[in-house]
């Protein structure tokens, strides 16, 4: 079958990327649109406007996922879906998530310009709360969409202030009425920056993602005893701050000792009363453990649990562990990854297969349909940081590969 070729307009895509980047921009240049905040609403409103301008049928489901649908000739066939997220971490770059959504819109505009109708319809999706900054777990919108969590359970999740996700969704006006699971896709392909150093280091333009690692987020609450920092003998202290520091160094040492794909970090620590001359009464911290191998990830979790039990006993503190995220590793559809690789090859882009260290919505979509991911390089592997950068030529290459992949899948 002679394959239709469309030439994407990279400049137009970049214009949208920079226009969206300006929404929620902070003084240090970060893109800060934490899910279900006013900044997130403003970003959603902008992209929904672009979807409407492109003639897409826009629908919003009850968890706030947004779908822009372009009908195909065969309405009896399930559509092909692409997309990602536009919520960010607090120190977000401008590409993480946004790029995958706006590349999808660019492809829609190319099809409109060419008056091309595809056999299967096309959907560009924006999934709610991929980053999990205010509400956990992350990848929440796609998890609910893929039947991984009941809607009512998700709507009842609360943030640190006790606000429910449902109330926050209502407040920003994105508690949608479209049925959950609207546009059940024939296949899902997500375009995303690598957020790691491999493609940039090897000067490859395209990453064909084969596997995505398992993720474990735990919140650990350590109960110590507030006391005077000067008068309390060291042997009598129950110092939650010290215990938190011990956990931080333990997880680092554990990942180094286990090696392989094991990674670990403590990203959040909150001490109470957080006063210089008071021994911390409480520490609340998060531990993010990841591994491509499920059983090794469980080993890491078990080793941490053993350490915490010992620490509680040694320091005379109480320790509670609450699971916030527990996602198994995912292998993407072999046929789809082959197809992505073929497109990259036929377009003459250097490419390689690799795994994803980050979680993505495709991880959830792979529960309900064949899914795949396309990566483009992140300069120096930096992400979740305003210094996040991908060269325009690589962004264009990724969009072109996605375009050809979607054309094959939808015809």
CA distance 91 to 382: 12
Burial code (b: 16+ CB inside 10 Å, e: under 16) for 96-124 equals: bbbbbbbbbbbbbbbbeeeeeebebbbbb
Q: Where are the alpha helices (DSSP H) in 54-191?
A: 98-113, 140-145, 151-155, 165-171
CA distance 55 to 71: 10
Handedness of CA 239, 241, 243, 246 (dihedral sign): negative
The CB-of-33 to ligand HGY minimum distance in angstroms stands at 14
Considering just the CA atoms, what is the radius of gyration of the chain in Å? 22
| Nearest by Cα to 238 from 319, 355, 139, 340 | 319
Q: Which is nearer to ligand HGY, 240 or 364 (CB)?
A: 364
Q: Which is nearer to ligand HGY, 106 or 131 (CB)?
A: 131
The CB-of-109 to ligand HGY minimum distance in angstroms stands at 27
The CB-of-310 to ligand HGY minimum distance in angstroms stands at 28
Among 93, 359, 377, 386, interactor with ligand HGY by CB under 6 A: 359
CA distance 395 to 10: 8
The CB-of-39 to ligand HGY minimum distance in angstroms stands at 17
Sole window of 50-58, 131-139, 362-370, 398-406 interacting with ligand HGY (rule: CB under 6 A): 131-139
Q: Which is nearer to Mn ion, 96 or 239 (CB)?
A: 96
- Quick one: what does residue 394 bind among ligand HGY, Mn ion, none, with the CB cut-off 5 to 8 Å set by partner type? none
> Binding to ligand HGY by residue 394, rule CB under 6 A?
no
DSSP classification of residue 49: H
Residue 385 class from Cβ within 10 Å (0-12 exposed, 13-18 middle, 19+ buried)? middle
Sole window of 46-54, 128-136, 313-321, 344-352 interacting with ligand HGY (rule: CB under 6 A): 128-136
CA distance 187 to 365: 9
Residue 92 class from Cβ within 10 Å (0-12 exposed, 13-18 middle, 19+ buried)? buried
Residues in the interface with ligand HGY (CB under 6 A) total 6
Q: Which is nearer to ligand HGY, 124 or 358 (CB)?
A: 358
Sole window of 45-53, 130-138, 180-188, 395-403 interacting with ligand HGY (rule: CB under 6 A): 130-138
Among 39, 87, 130, 194, interactor with ligand HGY by CB under 6 A: 130
The CB-of-287 to ligand HGY minimum distance in angstroms stands at 13
- SS3 of residue 240 by DSSP: helix
> Binding to ligand HGY by residue 358, rule CB under 6 A?
yes
> Binding to ligand HGY by residue 138, rule CB under 6 A?
yes
C-alpha separations of 242 from 31, 32, 254, 280 in Å? 33, 31, 18, 8
Residue with tokens 């214009």: 15
Sole window of 107-115, 129-137, 186-194, 366-374 interacting with ligand HGY (rule: CB under 6 A): 129-137
> Binding to ligand HGY by residue 364, rule CB under 6 A?
no
> Binding to ligand HGY by residue 131, rule CB under 6 A?
yes
The CB-of-158 to ligand HGY minimum distance in angstroms stands at 19
Positions that interact with Mn ion (CB under 5 A): 96-97
Tokens of 290: 């990841």
The CB-of-216 to ligand HGY minimum distance in angstroms stands at 11
CA distance 145 to 355: 24
Sole window of 109-117, 127-135, 224-232, 238-246 interacting with ligand HGY (rule: CB under 6 A): 127-135
Q: Which is nearer to ligand HGY, 130 or 394 (CB)?
A: 130
- Quick one: what does residue 97 bind among ligand HGY, Mn ion, none, with the CB cut-off 5 to 8 Å set by partner type? Mn ion
Q: How many other β-carbons are positioned within 10 Å of the β-carbon of residue 411?
A: 17
Sole window of 126-134, 219-227, 299-307, 389-397 interacting with ligand HGY (rule: CB under 6 A): 126-134
Tokens of 152: 């009512």
> Binding to ligand HGY by residue 40, rule CB under 6 A?
no
| Nearest by Cα to 216 from 162, 136, 122 | 136
- Quick one: what does residue 370 bind among Mn ion, ligand HGY, none, with the CB cut-off 5 to 8 Å set by partner type? none
The CB-of-276 to ligand HGY minimum distance in angstroms stands at 33
What is the DSSP annotation of 147-185?
Answer: TSS-HHHHHT-B-TT--BHHHHHHHTT----SPTTTT--
- Quick one: what does residue 138 bind among Mn ion, ligand HGY, none, with the CB cut-off 5 to 8 Å set by partner type? ligand HGY
Write out the residues near ligand HGY by the rule CB under 6 A.
Answer: 130-132, 138, 358-359
């Amino acid at each position: 079958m002679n394959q239709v070729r469309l030439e994407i307009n990279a400049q137009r895509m970049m214009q949208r990327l920079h226009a969206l980047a300006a929404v929620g921009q902070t003084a240090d240049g970060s893109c800060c649109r934490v899910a279900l905040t006013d900044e997130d609403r403003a970003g959603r409103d902008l992209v929904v406007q672009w979807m409407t301008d492109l003639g897409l049928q826009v629908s919003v489901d009850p968890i706030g996922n947004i779908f822009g649908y372009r009908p195909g000739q065969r309405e009896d066939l399930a559509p092909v879906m692409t997309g990602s997220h536009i919520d960010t971490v607090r120190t977000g770059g401008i590409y993480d998530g946004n790029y995958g959504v706006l590349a999808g819109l660019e492809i829609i505009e190319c099809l409109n310009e060419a008056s091309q109708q595809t056999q299967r319809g096309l959907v560009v999706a924006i999934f709610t709360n991929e980053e999990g900054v205010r509400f956990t777990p992350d990848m929440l919108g796609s998890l609910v969409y893929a039947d991984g969590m009941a809607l009512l359970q998700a709507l009842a999740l609360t943030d640190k202030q006790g606000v429910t996700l449902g109330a926050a969704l209502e407040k920003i006006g994105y508690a949608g009425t479209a049925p959950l699971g609207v546009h059940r896709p024939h296949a899902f392909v997500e375009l995303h920056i690598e957020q790691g150093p491999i493609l940039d280091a090897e000067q490859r333009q395209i990453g064909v993602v084969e596997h995505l690692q398992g993720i474990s987020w735990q919140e650990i609450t350590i109960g110590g005893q507030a006391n005077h920092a000067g008068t309390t003998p060291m042997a009598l202290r129950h110092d939650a701050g010290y215990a938190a520091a011990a956990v931080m160094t333990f997880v680092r040492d554990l990942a180094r000792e286990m090696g392989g794909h094991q990674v670990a970090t403590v990203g959040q620590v909150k001490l109470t009363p957080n006063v210089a001359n008071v021994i911390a009464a409480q520490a609340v911290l998060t531990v993010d453990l990841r591994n491509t191998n499920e059983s090794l990830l469980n080993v890491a979790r078990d080793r941490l649990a053993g350490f915490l039990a010992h620490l509680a006993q040694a320091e005379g503190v109480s320790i509670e562990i609450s699971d916030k995220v527990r996602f198994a590793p995912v292998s993407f559809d072999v046929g789809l990854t082959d197809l992505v690789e073929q497109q990259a090859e036929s377009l003459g882009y250097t490419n390689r297969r690799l795994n994803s260290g980050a979680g993505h919505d495709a991880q959830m979509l792979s529960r309900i349909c064949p899914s795949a991911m396309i990566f483009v390089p992140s300069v120096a592997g930096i992400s979740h940081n305003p210094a996040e950068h991908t060269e325009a030529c690589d962004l264009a290459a990724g969009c072109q590969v996605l375009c050809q992949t979607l054309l094959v899948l939808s015809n």
